[in-house]
Amino acid sequence: MRNEWFEFPFTEESVKRRFVGKELIVAKNHIPSPVMEETARIILTDKPVGDGHYKVEQSGTIKTWRVSDGVLFLCGAREKNMFVFNGSEVMNASHYAVGESLCEASLTGFMRVVLYPFRPITEVNLRVAISTHKDYHESTVDRLVKTLKRTGIKSEDILVVVAEGEGCDFARDAEYVCASRGRFGYTAIDHLPEGADYWLLLNDTCEATADFGIQLKRVDIGIQYDVIRWTRVVAATWRSTRQRSWQTWRRPVRRRGQRRLKASSTCNRSWCPG
């Protein structure tokens, strides 16, 4: 269990010892939705600002933190309480703090807020799976593979699954697998081999921008999500082989005359825990 950072109930000393200087994620969850929506990334400091409050960095709205009666408070301007954390949970062997928001009403009548350390997905074994078809793979896949490699992704970490591709001659700058039939943009799902912690599923109609590799390092798996969805521009679905579960997201439709879709680094992210 990844709880080396966590002590509960909170004390000012334990927060300083475990949290200060580390990047933390504040995420909200509107029950019964399974999606954890990132609210802020913060760094707690031990710089006092008066009345038991300490400065918070790297956040636009959360300004200070304090501990009272075993409860951790994150505060905004004028030391107004924004989030309160007074419990803990365990999911996928990850221990994290839970609480509530004091500044936002729930969309469904109940909302919880979670707090946990940021962990980049680049710390684990991440591979890329591209779904394509024999009729057009030659004009799409090569460009996508080249842009992925320029961002630092290795050839051995790229899997291309070609629907109805038996007998085709493939380039060798990635691993190729033939599928007897296609599943639109998700042909690769049925052909993922063992060994990867997460898979990034891509359709061959997109390509990686220059800063894609940099933004990849900002993708969080602190609670070891089963599925991580990128919900804008790029139709990317992350799949964790730990739980054998996956979730797809609608691929943007490429209409006649429309420019190629790019794996933009400006996309918003949301997450689906298992």
Domains of the chain: 12-118 (2.30.31), 122-272 (3.90.550)
Interval 69-75 mean pLDDT: 95
pLDDT band at 213 (very low <50, low <70, confident <90, very high): confident
Give the tens place of pLDDT for each residue, 88-136: 888 777 788 999 999 887 777 788 899 999 989 888 888 999 988 888 7
Residues 6+ apart with CB under 8 A from 232: 264, 266, 267, 268
Is the entire prediction scored with pTM above 0.95?
no
Interval 65-89 mean pLDDT: 93
Residue 254 has pLDDT above 80, yes or no: no
Interval 77-96 mean pLDDT: 87
Residue 200 has pLDDT above 70, yes or no: yes
